[in-house]
Every structure is written in C-alpha cells, then in structure tokens.
Copies of this chain bind each other. A is one copy, B any other.
C-alpha cells in the first residue's frame, strides 16, 4: 500500500532491469491470456512462467487488476494518438458531434474486442478507473468546451457522457454471453444509440 512517495520533481528513471521485467511480464501475461483466458492469469503462475518472484510482480503492478490495466493502456496509447492527431472524423478537423460519435464508435469496437481484459481490469477495489478513462474525460471536456452549449457544469456533463458510453458496454459484457446477440451486432447497436444520444444533446445548441 505504501507508495515510495518521492516528494516531487524526482521521477528517478526506471531502472534497466525493472523495465526489462515489466515488459517481460506483460508479454507473458498476454501469452497466458491467449492460452487459457484471463482467469488463467494468476499471480503465482505469471511469476513462475516469467521466471520471476511473486513479489516482483506485485511491485510492478500493485494488484492483479493492475496488470490488465497496463495491458489496456498499451492499446489505449495508440488510440490516443489517433484521437489527438489522426485523420478526421476521429482526429481534429471535424465538428464536435462528428468527433464524439466517431470516438464512441471506435471505443466500443475496442472494448468489444478486448472484452475480457476490460472486465478483468476492474475487479477489486481498484480505486482509479484506469488512466484510460481519464483520457476519455479530458477529450470530452475539450470537445464540450469547444462546442458552445450553454451548459452549467461542463465537467459533470463530460463525466455523464463518459458513463453513458462505458456503462452500457460494461452491462453488455457482464451479461451472459452465451445466448446474447453476437458482439458485432451488439456493438453496432450500442454505437447507434450513442450517436443518437450525442446528436440529441447537441440539437438544443443548434437551435
């Protein structure tokens, strides 16, 4: 629980062996997931299969969920680049409504693909809902600020939108997946609903 807590200003670059092991662990984790699914990634097994001690695994990731968050964030980083400097409508150059709907579409596709990782990433009292969510929020705030709806509390609206996007996804991926609609179709439906919501919200501004 105690974090090292270097007062501040001293990031103290990651040591070479630490970095090597971190990458190693992530690679092995991915490998194990491909084999036996997320459930098969136990801390002991991961440590052993990576040829490291259990303590090391925890030092690197803090918690089991931490591993999955890290996996997710690797991907998220690529995504972020697209959002910040890729081609429209996802990247800059399109209007807020287009960018928001595009964002939703891509994010939904992403989570539907990485369903089990996403699930595993939020199990315990994980606290922070992944830095990744924060990225979504930052982006939403930016877009909302730009589009001038006369909203009282843009910060809260960003959070609500984020929830409206992620919530249904989580609901979907937590429901029995055996008899449910196939992911592709569910994804399409979620994306359409998202577009509907965004357009409806912005319609009031266009009056």
Confirm or deny: A183 has a beta carbon within 8 angstroms of a beta carbon on chain B. no
Smallest beta-carbon distance A132→chain B, Å: 14
Q: Mark A137-164, 1 if CB is under 8 A from B, else 0.
A: 0000000000001011100110111111
Given contacts A163-B163, A164-B167, A204-B203, contact A157 B196 (CB under 8 A): yes
Please tell me the number of chain A residues within 8 Å of chain B, measured between CB atoms. Answer: 39
Instruction: For A161, list chain B residues within 8 Å (CB).
Output: 164
A182-196 residues with Cβ-Cβ distance < 8 A to B are: 189-190, 192-194, 196
Confirm or deny: A166 has a beta carbon within 8 angstroms of a beta carbon on chain B. yes
> For chain A, what secondary structure do more than half of its interface residues adopt (helix, strand, loop), or is it mixed?
helix
Complexed CA–CA distance, A164 and B163 (Å): 5
Instruction: For A193, list chain B residues within 8 Å (CB).
Output: 152-153, 156-157, 159-160
Contact of A123 among B119, B124, B166, B194 (CB under 8 A): B124
Task: Determine if A189 and B156 form an interchain contact, defined as CB atoms under 8 angstroms apart.
Answer: yes
Given contacts A192-B152, A201-B201, contact A125 B119 (CB under 8 A): yes
Residue of B nearest to A196 (CB): B152
Task: Determine if A168 and B159 form an interchain contact, defined as CB atoms under 8 angstroms apart.
Answer: yes
Task: Determine if A190 and B156 form an interchain contact, defined as CB atoms under 8 angstroms apart.
Answer: yes
Smallest beta-carbon distance A131→chain B, Å: 14
Task: Determine if B123 and A125 form an interchain contact, defined as CB atoms under 8 angstroms apart.
Answer: yes
Task: Determine if B174 and A156 form an interchain contact, defined as CB atoms under 8 angstroms apart.
Answer: no
Task: Determine if B197 and A157 form an interchain contact, defined as CB atoms under 8 angstroms apart.
Answer: yes
Instruction: For A53, list chain B residues within 8 Å (CB).
Output: none
Task: Determine if B164 and A160 form an interchain contact, defined as CB atoms under 8 angstroms apart.
Answer: yes
Confirm or deny: A129 has a beta carbon within 8 angstroms of a beta carbon on chain B. yes
Contact of A168 among B160, B174, B190, B192 (CB under 8 A): B160
